[in-house]
Chains A and B, each alone.
Chain A
Amino acid sequence: MIEQLAGSWNYIIVVILMMTGLFMVIARANLVKKMIGLSIFQTSVFIFYISLGKMAGGTAPILDGNPDTLYSNPLPHVLILTAIVVGVATTALGLALILRINEAFGSVEEDEIIAAKASQSLARPKRPTSEAAE
């Protein structure tokens, strides 16, 4: 039992991180904290993929001419490079939206935003009379 746990400790960490991140996304009312949770959640998946590609005793996949050399699988690592880029883009866009939300509502707390929405939910048209003016 203990041996089995010790053998897959990286996957246990993955699950713990994943649940921590997901819990933050769901439970936190602060929009910035939600983004942090999302990042932790995505990072756990990165570690999951990297663990998949690692061979016990394997080295970096650079050919050295020796047929007995054991290599790690580089493909999951490359995939995660792409996923990291996507993750960074998601975080950047999320933070940009939070900035705009803060300007528009004066808060980044979800409950306060909901309260603000209820108190003043009138549309603000850019051009008051639209087509009639033309």
Chain B
Amino acid sequence: MMGAAILTNLPALLVVVPLLLAPFSAVLPIAGLAWVLALVGTGISFLAALMLQSVTENGVRISYHLGNWEPPWGIEFVVDSASSLTLVVMSALGFLATLAARRLVAIEIADKDSGKFYAAWLLVVGGLFGLVMTADAFNLFVFLEISALASVILIGTGAGTDRRALVAGYHYLVIGAVGATFYVIGVGFVYAITGTLNMGDMASRLPDAAGGAALYVGFGFMVAGMLVKAAIFPVHIWLPAAYGYAPSAVSTLLAAIATKAALYVLARIFFTIFGGTPDIVDIALSNIIVPLAVGGIFVGTIMAIYEADIKKMFAHSSVAQIGYIALGLALATPAGISAGFIHIGNHALIKGGIFMAIGGFVAALGARASLETITGIGRRMPITATAFLICGLSLAGLPLTAGFISKLYLVRAILETDSYAILALVLISSALSVVYLWKVMEVMWMQPAPARSPKLIENPAIYLPLWMVALGNIWFGIDASWIVGAARLAATALLGGGA
């Protein structure tokens, strides 16, 4: 009886459990207990996401009515193959990031603030899950702001070690709020045309509605707002500083899961809400999103090459990787969208691992990781540095790593559409990404450590979760059948029309 009630309410629980645990965490005086709460919250979410994924594997679409109010009056949560894959990726990496957070947070955050820190952590996670599941356009804005405001708090806690975190958090707050408000303006226009806020209803009413210019304006505002949140070039400017100056644990969490949710919402806007009016979507995708994605790939990669601070370097690289995901989604073919979803999963693994490893370096060094401070660290911290190397190779797309699978499917999807110019640009940018990776690896492994450097101690609380992620990069590089199959189903679910 109890079990059945839990099973039927899984979609709600995924959001409610982290959100409910957050206030308890905020008042807990002991840092360790707050961490346990966060671990329990993300762990339960991970299990719930896995169960939802197993249910939706056969193309089943779960529609959950919050408070038993029938949509379109009530808020509807939709879990299909596309959202369940995104949820599994996000909750898995959220759980692993929480696992690694204990040690990193103990070093960088004052003990008395830890309870509040984990409260904000749980709010980010719960908000992002809601963002992925909700089928109500306005409810989406609320989840967007829950997770955005909580991430600003998390970024701001970096002020304990580097005051620039405050400015980075402020900029993210302002730019993010403008983006979210743009989205709300767009929803207003679409609501004015269709008279509904439910995405499925919008999709079925838009083709017949005499929207005229209002339709274009609404679509433009909604997309522009989400571009900011997904950090797509040229509105990615908040990202490098935010990831660069946030505490290591926060960089790990945000880099692994935060922009993924926004990218998924973008896909929902293009293929679910405006799925019935393909003419606008096609124009926007091929004339705007594809050039922006390619632009982001190059700007991110080139900025990363010239960056000496390791965290900021990989934050710039995230901008480029988000470009690859957006490019896959913007091809709007089944192959392209599944390539986008494959890279959503693999990039979460790659960047989660890389930022965890950098966190390990920072914890041991007691200083920011720059090309200078990590000189020769390969021999001083072999366990962490080897995992970092694996994730780095995966980022470059070496065969037998997860990153290779992403590149392979992306290239195949581009070949299908016969756009050789884009293919050439993608291959050139991949080659360029080797430049900054080489710079880091050369400094780490081939240069001797400075004389009289103190012995560095590696902490298993950081490198155990890190190695889980690193082995995940190898596992999904050798046997990619799970993610490829799930991504294909996700693409079918998204393109199937209607929510």
Residues of A within 8 A of B (CB): 22, 25, 31, 34-35, 38, 41-42, 45, 48-49, 52, 75-76, 79, 82-83, 86, 89-90, 93-94, 97-98, 100-101, 104-105, 113, 117, 121, 123-132, 134
Stretch at the interface among B145-153, B400-408, B430-438: B145-153
Docked Cα-Cα span, A82 to B110, in Å, equals 34
Interface centre among A31, A42, A79, A129 (most CB of B within 10 A): A79
With a cutoff of 8 Å between Cβ atoms, the chain A residues found around residue B390 in the complex are none
A90 in contact with B145 (CB, 8 Å): yes
Can you pick out 19 interface pairs between chain A and chain B where the beta carbons lie within 8 Å of each other? Answer: A22-B178, A34-B174, A41-B178, A45-B185, A76-B191, A79-B197, A86-B145, A89-B145, A93-B173, A94-B173, A117-B164, A124-B161, A124-B163, A126-B108, A126-B161, A130-B365, A130-B366, A131-B107, A131-B459
- Of residues 115 through 152 on chain B, the ones whose CB sits less than 8 Å from some CB of chain A are 138, 141-142, 145, 149, 152
With a cutoff of 8 Å between Cβ atoms, the chain B residues found around residue A76 in the complex are 188, 191
Partner of B166, one of A89, A97, A128: A97
B156, CB-defined interface residue at 8 Å: yes
A93 in contact with B149 (CB, 8 Å): yes
With a cutoff of 8 Å between Cβ atoms, the chain A residues found around residue B162 in the complex are 123-124
Distance between B73 CB and nearest chain A CB, rounded to angstroms: 10
A127 in contact with B366 (CB, 8 Å): yes
A100-B159 contact, Cβ under 8 Å, with A41-B181, A49-B188? yes
Docked Cα-Cα span, A82 to B145, in Å, equals 11
A131 in contact with B161 (CB, 8 Å): no
Interface centre among A93, A117, A124 (most CB of B within 10 A): A93
B167, CB-defined interface residue at 8 Å: yes
A97 in contact with B152 (CB, 8 Å): yes
A90 in contact with B161 (CB, 8 Å): no
Docked Cα-Cα span, A90 to B172, in Å, equals 11
Stretch at the interface among B274-282, B440-448, B449-457: B449-457
A38 in contact with B178 (CB, 8 Å): yes
A52-B188 contact, Cβ under 8 Å, with A79-B138, A121-B164, A126-B108? yes
Distance between B188 CB and nearest chain A CB, rounded to angstroms: 6
With a cutoff of 8 Å between Cβ atoms, the chain A residues found around residue B184 in the complex are 45, 83
With a cutoff of 8 Å between Cβ atoms, the chain B residues found around residue A31 in the complex are 170
A125-B192 contact, Cβ under 8 Å, with A22-B178, A48-B185? no
- Besides the known contacts A89-B145, A132-B456, 15 further A-B residue pairs in the complex with CB atoms under 8 A apart: A41-B178, A45-B181, A45-B184, A48-B185, A76-B188, A79-B138, A83-B141, A94-B170, A98-B170, A117-B164, A117-B167, A124-B163, A127-B107, A129-B454, A130-B365
A132 in contact with B454 (CB, 8 Å): yes
Docked Cα-Cα span, A117 to B166, in Å, equals 12
A104-B159 contact, Cβ under 8 Å, with A45-B184, A125-B367? yes
A101-B167 contact, Cβ under 8 Å, with A25-B178, A38-B174, A76-B191? yes
With a cutoff of 8 Å between Cβ atoms, the chain A residues found around residue B161 in the complex are 123-126
With a cutoff of 8 Å between Cβ atoms, the chain A residues found around residue B178 in the complex are 22, 25, 38, 41
Distance between B229 CB and nearest chain A CB, rounded to angstroms: 14
In terms of DSSP, what is the predominant structure of the interface of chain A?
Answer: helix
Partner of B170, one of A42, A101, A124, A129: A101
Docked Cα-Cα span, A121 to B165, in Å, equals 12
Docked Cα-Cα span, A124 to B367, in Å, equals 8
Docked Cα-Cα span, A83 to B180, in Å, equals 10
B364, CB-defined interface residue at 8 Å: yes
User: Using a Cβ–Cβ cut-off of 8 Å, how many residues does chain B contribute to the interface with A?
Assistant: 44
Docked Cα-Cα span, A5 to B131, in Å, equals 39
B169, CB-defined interface residue at 8 Å: yes
With a cutoff of 8 Å between Cβ atoms, the chain A residues found around residue B152 in the complex are 93, 97
Distance between B358 CB and nearest chain A CB, rounded to angstroms: 13
Distance between B120 CB and nearest chain A CB, rounded to angstroms: 11
B159 in contact with A125 (CB, 8 Å): no
Pairs of residues from A and B, 7 with the lowest C-beta to C-beta distance, nearest first: A104-B163, A130-B366, A123-B368, A125-B366, A97-B170, A131-B457, A86-B145
B363, CB-defined interface residue at 8 Å: yes
Q: Which residue of A is nearest B373, CB measured?
A: A123
A86 in contact with B166 (CB, 8 Å): no
With a cutoff of 8 Å between Cβ atoms, the chain B residues found around residue A129 in the complex are 366, 454
B459 in contact with A100 (CB, 8 Å): no
Q: Which residue of B is nearest A34, CB measured?
A: B174
Distance between B190 CB and nearest chain A CB, rounded to angstroms: 11
B177 in contact with A132 (CB, 8 Å): no
With a cutoff of 8 Å between Cβ atoms, the chain B residues found around residue A117 in the complex are 164, 167
Docked Cα-Cα span, A117 to B192, in Å, equals 46
B59, CB-defined interface residue at 8 Å: no
A126 in contact with B181 (CB, 8 Å): no
B160, CB-defined interface residue at 8 Å: yes
Docked Cα-Cα span, A129 to B453, in Å, equals 12
Q: Which residue of A is nearest B139, CB measured?
A: A82
With a cutoff of 8 Å between Cβ atoms, the chain B residues found around residue A42 in the complex are 177, 181
With a cutoff of 8 Å between Cβ atoms, the chain A residues found around residue B107 in the complex are 126-127, 130-131
Docked Cα-Cα span, A100 to B149, in Å, equals 16
Docked Cα-Cα span, A108 to B366, in Å, equals 29
Docked Cα-Cα span, A25 to B166, in Å, equals 18
Partner of B188, one of A45, A82, A97: A45
With a cutoff of 8 Å between Cβ atoms, the chain B residues found around residue A134 in the complex are 457
- Of residues 458 through 474 on chain B, the ones whose CB sits less than 8 Å from some CB of chain A are 459
Distance between A74 CB and nearest chain B CB, rounded to angstroms: 13
With a cutoff of 8 Å between Cβ atoms, the chain B residues found around residue A90 in the complex are 145, 149, 173, 177
Distance between B75 CB and nearest chain A CB, rounded to angstroms: 12
Distance between A45 CB and nearest chain B CB, rounded to angstroms: 6
With a cutoff of 8 Å between Cβ atoms, the chain A residues found around residue B169 in the complex are 97
With a cutoff of 8 Å between Cβ atoms, the chain A residues found around residue B181 in the complex are 41-42, 45
Partner of B149, one of A25, A35, A89, A126: A89
